[in-house]
Structure 1
Amino acid sequence: MSDVPAVPEPREVSTWLTDMDGVLVHEDVPIPGAQEFIARLQESGLGFMVLTNNSIYTPRDLRARLLRSGIDVPESAIWTSALATAQFLRDQRPGGSAYVVGEAGLTTALHDVGYVMTDHDPDYVVLGETRTYSFEAITRAIRLIDAGARFIATNPDPSGPSQDGKLPATGAVAALITTATGRQPYYVGKPNSLMMRSALNRIDAHSETTVMVGDRMDTDIIAGLEAGLRTILVTTGSTTQDQVGTFPYRPTFVHESVADLVDLVDEWAQRG
């Protein structure tokens, strides 16, 4: 059940954006209602994108991961912080070069937009998430930034979940590099609304008729708010119902899980 009205303000919803971890899955375990929610979006013909700050995997990898959980999301409907970062760099400096600390999701995205990977006088140092951070790679990144490379990071998340507990994530390593260099990175992923707008542009959608579903007030909800979207917080992930009131902004709606949204897909699409 929700603590907000079940019917939104009288505007149609023609596009849905949704976070992945904490909304659709916990690790590789589907959250109840996620399979039905995505299936209903597919059946409705509405535009939708699954967004994630995880830059480790390519959309093909993430599609396979979701399929193992019984959730069928087309590769073209997955938008990662790595893809958003690559698009941002292509627009800023076409055909540039980068020293990358990250994995296949990030290096593939940069290659696909024509970037050259190099450790010799790169235009950018690009930091993404990886499970194999090395002291040597971080040291090289620090020295290149000191030499004038611009510092970009895919997302500011300081930690990520695992079955054994927290893992250090991009934001934590970025803080280490910032401490050593005195240079702050530009973060492209959530909560930067740039990631939302790039996803909307990808599917030719408009903020006025789009809803963002997320589990974190400090990334998903604020990014959707700043991009002009209506927002739905589901309490199956990071932010609990009790924590919502501690933030200086609020989501448009709060629901227990995406299971509450299945029947709303058609209902909201017909409003206007």
Structure 2
Amino acid sequence: MNTQAWNYLTDMDGVLVHEEHMVAGADEFLAELRADGRPFLVLTNNSIYTPRDLRARLLASGLDVPEGAIWTSALATAKFLSWQRPNGTAFVIGEAGLTTALHQAGYVLTERSPDYVVLGETRTYSFSAITKAIRLINAGARFIATNPDATAPSLEGALPATGSVAALIERATGKQPYYVGKPNPLMMRSALSVLGAHSEDTVMIGDRMDTDVHAGIESGLRTILVLTGIATKDSAECYPYRPNMVLDSIADLLGHTGDPFGD
């Protein structure tokens, strides 16, 4: 294999930043990728923020990542829907990251007989909006969710996230959502499409076995698990699949991005 051809997909929370603080060495890692001309995308299942918002958040943590190098589950969802039904309509529960992505994809947001109900993440889930979503799905709207994450982290502790609210709506309607974000390989394939990269030449770096590593394996990518976020060495052993490499931190890749696996 050509060791000069590696492209990188990396999760954001737990890999590059942790509780709003930069993971030590993350800035040097990104600088090394840039210096070597290695294409990369920063991935996140969080659909709340636009790439511009996330760029500002990363800058505040000391990381300079261009908007074009950030790929969210909201962008992946909008891309998927534009493939499925160009210029369609949707009732959306979510924040600016999701509504902006759908608008840019040519979608009209409406409560009147939408093609889709699209559920994303928000810190202020509305009972009336959830009720409206249930009624629209019962009336025939197709159910899409940006990601299956049941909880989201906060400084005060876990918060209910998209997967939890999707479960509520599924229970009320009997209709399962189609999840676009990780671990759906669609998230990875859409990111590869943005990079113009192939799976056999791409590495996925993540801090979760159930989303990052799972999606990477199912997409045919090499996978690296770092222990600066959710996973531990012990918890990783509980899964029936393995990453190609387990590292304490992304800093352990410094000086090895050209040949991370020693091929």
Task: State the TM-score, normalized to the length of structure 1.
Answer: 0.94
CA distance in 2, matches of 1:212, 1:55: 20
The structure 2 residue matched to 1:124, chosen from 88, 91, 116, is 116
Contact 2:44–2:71 (CA under 8 A) maintained in structure 1: yes
The structure 2 residue matched to 1:73, chosen from 55, 65, 69, is 65
Contact 1:13–1:211 (CA under 8 A) maintained in structure 2: no
1:267 Cα deviation after fit: 4.0
Residue 145 of structure 1 is matched in structure 2 by 137
The structure 1 residue matched to 2:91, chosen from 99, 106, 115, is 99
Deviation string 1:30-65 (CA, Å, 9 cap, x unpaired) is: 111111111111111110000000000000000000
SS at match of 1:231: strand
Q: Which amino acid aligns with 1:161?
A: P
Contact 1:52–1:80 (CA under 8 A) maintained in structure 2: yes
Q: Which amino acid aligns with 1:66?
A: L
Residue 125 of structure 2 is matched in structure 1 by 133
Percentage of pairs with the same residue:
67
1:14 Cα deviation after fit: 2.0
Point out 4+ residue stretches in structure 1 off by more than 6 angstroms. Answer: none
Residue 208 of structure 1 is matched in structure 2 by 200
CA distance in 2, matches of 1:27, 1:173: 23
Contact 1:57–1:105 (CA under 8 A) maintained in structure 2: yes
Correspondence 1:258 to 2:245: no
CA distance in 2, matches of 1:243, 1:112: 40
Contact 1:12–1:209 (CA under 8 A) maintained in structure 2: no
SS at match of 1:32: coil
CA distance in 2, matches of 1:144, 1:17: 36
Contact 1:12–1:268 (CA under 8 A) maintained in structure 2: no
Correspondence 1:223 to 2:215: yes
SS at match of 2:92: strand
Contact 1:13–1:268 (CA under 8 A) maintained in structure 2: no
Q: How does 1:13-92 map to 2 (within 5 A)?
A: 13-92=5-84
Structure 1: which 5+ residue stretches go unaligned? 1-8
Correspondence 1:157 to 2:149: yes
Residue 3 of structure 1 is matched in structure 2 by none
The structure 2 residue matched to 1:248, chosen from 227, 235, 240, is 240
SS at match of 1:246: coil
Q: Which amino acid aligns with 1:143?
A: R
Query: RMSD value over aligned CA atoms?
Result: 1.4
1:11 Cα deviation after fit: 4.8
Residue 186 of structure 1 is matched in structure 2 by 178
CA distance in 1, matches of 2:75, 2:69: 12
Contact 1:18–1:214 (CA under 8 A) maintained in structure 2: yes
Structure 2: which 5+ residue stretches go unaligned? none
1:10 Cα deviation after fit: 7.4
Contact 1:56–1:106 (CA under 8 A) maintained in structure 2: yes
Deviates more, 1:28-37 or 1:156-165: 28-37
Contact 2:6–2:258 (CA under 8 A) maintained in structure 1: no
Task: State the TM-score, normalized to the length of structure 2.
Answer: 0.97
Deviates more, 1:218-227 or 1:32-41: 32-41
SS at match of 1:17: strand
CA distance in 1, matches of 2:124, 2:50: 17
